[in-house]
Structure 1
Amino acid sequence: MLHFEILPVTPFAQNATLIWCDLTQEAAIIDAGGEVDRLLEAVEQRGLKLTYLLLTHGHIDHAGGAADLKARTGVPIWGPQREDQFWLDGLGDQSRLFSFPEAKPVTPDRWLEEGDRIQLGQSQLEVLHCPGHTPGHVVFYDAESQWAQVGDVLFAGSIGRTDFPRGDHATLIASIKNKLLPLGDAVRFVPGHGPMSSFGAEKRNNPFLR
């Protein structure tokens, strides 16, 4: 069974997420936006074996610590989808724009595509390509535990911004309604910022989805 711990990082309180298989202790960090020492400490405290660094998209608060974390651990970076390459190439510029610690550009060891599967011990994550906030944004979904990490696609009571380069509101809404909500009302999700919710709660109450 997949377990997780939410570790808000950066001045933007981005929900970096440590996930692991309880049988094998293999672990991944989704969206290592910064505060690398703190993320590594969480892995060590639980006695986990870090196996992947996963990225939902290329914005600084989600990917700013990825290069440093890979350099210190040797763990490969997977994701996002390749349409976000321009964001990852520009992480240095993003860090200066938002007064973040200097971030190095990231070239993932593997770009992810719709339908890819990531084996984490006995657990398996399905990759969903959900553009709109960024063109290469992906979501990670675990069917067994009815859980997803959705990055900045969907929030409790809100949706991702679409005013960044190559963002698109209609595309974002289509990603939510055609990719995420059909997974089922019971699916709980960790958003990129803020509290967890479920797809059912957002379908009923989120004003942006009416």
Structure 2
Amino acid sequence: MTPTVETLVLGPVSANTYLVTDPETAAAAVIDAGDCTDALLERLRGKSVRYILLTHGHFDHILGVPALKAAFPDAQVCIHRLDADCLASSEKSLAAFSGIAQTPEKADRLLEDGDTLSLGSLTLQVLHTPGHTEGGVCYADFENRLLFTGDTLFCLTAGRTDFPGGSDEALLASLARLRDLAGDFTVYPGHNRATTLDAERRRNRYMRRLGL
């Protein structure tokens, strides 16, 4: 059954938080949490929150994790192992450089490329897509053709590489990996509006200019 995907724009840099729910079981995952607001908690009422899935460790995607974990203590906080230190360090998450306070948190599960996460009848697969950060990931639902890209791929653009841990070469390899996925996907990026993978293959200036 097709999952429901709800979008909230939260936090100091207006990052997207996605609520992915299996309608058969009400099992839910929160993808990125730049804040934990009353509106977010209200949307999660009656759902079985299994995971707090982080696409990377920058503060605008993780600041809401401690409060969200407190509200749903059985939910697993998941992040790639190369970005896990960001949860405990405001310097590594870049919160300190922005003058933003960060409550330390820890991961329940350290992700690797190819890991799968079961969400009721749904399965999300972890795609390691470094470049914006060393531990950046995307989450793919291959059955329903959904792709949550964090700050790797946006509508008509791509993630910055000028932060610590960023790499032009790694980002290009990650974009190439996404380009080479079979078929089309609905793309849910870390900021701004959703798009499709086919549209980005055709129109994204990074993919086109760099021969991707």
Report what 2:8 is aligned to.
7
**What CA distance in whole angstroms lies between the structure 2 residues aligned with 1:94 and 1:72?**
25
Amino acid of the structure 2 residue aligned with 1:204: R
> Counterpart amino acid of 2:199?
A
Structure 2: gaps spanning 5 or more residues: none
**1:118–1:124 CA contact under 8 A, matched in 2:** yes
Pairwise CA RMSD: 1.6
Residue 205 of structure 1 pairs with residue 206 of structure 2: no
SS of the residue 1:38 aligns to? helix
How far apart are the structure 2 equivalents of 1:48 and 1:65? 18
Once the two structures are aligned, what percentage of the paired residues are identical?
38
Tell me the secondary structure at the aligned position of residue 114 of structure 2: coil
Aligned equivalent of 1:115? 114
The whole-number CA distance in structure 2 between the counterparts of 1:62 and 1:112 is: 16
Q: Structure 2 length normalisation: TM-score?
A: 0.91
Q: Could you tell me which amino acid in structure 1 is paired with residue 68 of structure 2?
A: L
Aligned residue in 1 for 2:193? 195
User: How many residues of Structure 1 are paired with residues of Structure 2 in the alignment?
Assistant: 206
Q: Distance in 1 between matches of 2:78 and 2:21?
A: 18
Shift of residue 35 of structure 1?
Answer: 3.3
Q: Does 1:130 align with 2:115?
A: no
Per the TM alignment, residue 127 of structure 1 is displaced from its structure 2 partner at its CA by 0.6
- Equivalent residue for 2:179? 181
- Aligned equivalent of 1:160: 159
2:42 equivalent in structure 1 = 41
Deviation per CA, 1:58-111: give whole Å up to 9, x if none.
Answer: 0011011111211222033333211113322223774343244x3212221000
Give the aligned partner of residue 30 of structure 2: 29
Contact 2:36 2:68 in 1 (8 A): no
SS in 2 for 1:131: coil
Which residue does 1:98 correspond to in 2? Answer: 98
What pairs with 1:43-58 in structure 2 (closer than 5 Å)? 43-44=44-45, 47-58=46-57
CA distance in 1, matches of 2:134, 2:180: 21
State TM-score, norm by structure 1.
Answer: 0.92
